């Protein structure tokens, strides 16, 4: 009976949607440390963001699960505009080639689709779509700025100060 209960519990966990509590990047196991939902006008849910980190806070990933569809053009435009607003024209000019590679890698998304962005000092940065890498750069300075599109800063416990308007803290 106990074995049947364990099997049913395991199956029910596998059916639960949403981000995992950990993931692997650059040969390291990263744990989920924070989560929030991005909203527009307080109630229009755009995506759920989950922040993953190693114990030292050196390697980090942001996983975005989209709550609504966005075209490739909408994702590209929003990324380029927010990047310019945050870092100014000089950084945009310095990073123009990398930004172009990034927006060229984008595809439109539907509700439930995922993009993740990971950064490691040794490995560089990588954008993945639904778990499949679509762009990599060894420029960690660019990767750090790109991570800043979602995470402005970190508190002493490693939780995020998000760069977007949150609906509410989803917590972990």
One-character DSSP codes across 152-166: EEE-TTS-EEESS-E
Q: How do the pLDDT tens digits run along the chain, 172 residues long?
A: 433 333 332 333 333 344 578 899 999 999 999 999 999 887 789 999 999 999 999 999 999 999 999 999 999 999 999 999 999 999 999 999 999 999 999 999 999 999 999 999 999 999 999 999 999 999 999 999 999 999 999 888 888 999 999 986 544 5
Torsion on CA atoms 131, 172, 35, 29, rounded to nearest 10? -40
Q: How far apart are CA 70 and CA 163, in angstroms?
A: 19
Half-sphere exposure of 136 (CA within 13 A, CB side): 9
- Please, are residues 93 and 68 in contact by the beta-carbon 8 Å criterion? no
Is this model's pTM higher than 0.85 or not?
no
Indicate the fold that domain 20-169 takes in CATH.
Chalcone isomerase (3.50.70)
pLDDT at 80 (0 to 100): 95
């Amino acid at each position: 009976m106990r074995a049947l209960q364990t099997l049913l519990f395991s199956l029910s966990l596998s059916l639960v949607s949403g981000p995992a509590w950990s993931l692997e990047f650059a040969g390291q196991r990263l744990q989920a440390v924070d989560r929030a939902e991005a909203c527009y006008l307080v109630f229009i849910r755009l995506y759920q963001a989950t922040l993953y980190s190693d114990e030292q806070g050196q390697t980090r990933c942001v996983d975005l699960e989209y709550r609504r569809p966005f075209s490739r053009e909408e994702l590209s435009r929003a990324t380029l505009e927010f990047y310019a607003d945050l870092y100014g024209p000089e950084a945009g000019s310095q990073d123009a080639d990398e930004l172009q590679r990034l927006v060229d890698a984008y595809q439109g998304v539907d509700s439930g689709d995922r993009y993740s962005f990971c950064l490691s000092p040794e490995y560089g940065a990588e954008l993945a779509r639904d778990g499949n890498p679509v762009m990599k750069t060894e420029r960690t300075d660019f990767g750090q700025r790109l991570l800043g599109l979602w995470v402005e800063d970190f508190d002493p416990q490693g939780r995020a100060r998000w760069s977007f308007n949150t609906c509410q803290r989803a917590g972990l």
